[in-house]
Amino acid sequence: MVEESGQQEPLAEHVYDKRVKEYGWVGPEVAFGLAYEYTSPGQTILDVGIGTGLGSVLFQRAGMVVYGLDNSDAMLDICRRKGFASDLQLHDMNKLPYPYDEESLDHAVCIGALQYFENIQPVIEELARIIRESGIFVFTVLDRSPSESAAMVLGPEITDSGSTDTIYRHSTAQISEYLQVCGFESVKSLEFNMFMDREQRRKSPVKTYVAMKRSITHKD
């Protein structure tokens, strides 16, 4: 939308961030609180699926240097206008490898994006390649009990788009296996509820994990 003055109105930022507040989403705050003790000012952090930057702006305010990756240039443009990220890359999370060198960044964060992946192991494995030893990966997933199916179908009343959408839940056992295989150690986790509607009547459990990349012991 363009106003009469010719200046572009930050409508997308307003709508997206306002919707997050309406739904009572606290994932970014939970992730930052859990991960903060493992980070230091001046270190780099990659926000995978950065969106409008809600998952990493708190780290930037704590003195860290934010790198961001997203498949939407509109979302990246919002980040550009907010001015908190040092580097932004247009890239689909499904396409490997990501445009970063091996062990080139200190940490990574992924908030509110992994529920769109039925199998998140490739993402974790790719971030293990990018993160330096002893770096952390903090992320959120929809939690799943052993009796629940992985797929969750959202109806039009939830998606606000007039169509259905499918998202995926991941159990603690699954996450533990993925982290172990990819060279991470889970050091902290916390479960909380995410509301699925503006009225905050329907909720689903979310789990935030902080995983540390294990140091490699070199043998003679």
pLDDT in tens, 172-211: 999 999 999 999 999 999 999 987 777 777 788 999 999 9
For the stretch 105-148, pLDDT in tens is 999 999 999 999 999 999 999 999 999 999 999 999 999 998 89
Question: How is the chain split into domains, by residue range?
Answer: 11-213
Q: Does domain 11-213 match CATH 3.40.50.150?
A: yes
For the stretch 58-107, pLDDT in tens is 999 999 999 999 999 999 999 999 999 999 999 999 999 999 999 999 99
Do 66 and 150 meet the contact criterion of CB atoms below 8 Å apart?
A: no
Q: Report CA-CA distances (Å) from 112 to 2, 34, 72, 147.
A: 29, 16, 15, 23
User: What pLDDT sits at residue 215?
Assistant: 80
With H, G, I as helix, E, B as strand and everything else as coil, classify residue 64.
coil
User: What pLDDT sits at residue 163?
Assistant: 72
Please list, in sequence order, all residues whose beta carbon lies within 8 angstroms of the beta carbon of residue 56, skipping any fewer than 6 positions away: 45, 47, 50, 66, 68, 84, 85, 109
Do 50 and 76 meet the contact criterion of CB atoms below 8 Å apart?
A: yes
Please list, in sequence order, all residues whose beta carbon lies within 8 angstroms of the beta carbon of residue 61, skipping any fewer than 6 positions away: 84
With H, G, I as helix, E, B as strand and everything else as coil, classify residue 147.
coil
The predicted model scores a pTM of 0.87
Which secondary structure element, helix H or strand E, spans residue 138, and what is its range? strand 136-143
User: What pLDDT sits at residue 219?
Assistant: 42
**For the chain, what is the mean pLDDT?**
88
With H, G, I as helix, E, B as strand and everything else as coil, classify residue 115.
helix
With H, G, I as helix, E, B as strand and everything else as coil, classify residue 173.
helix
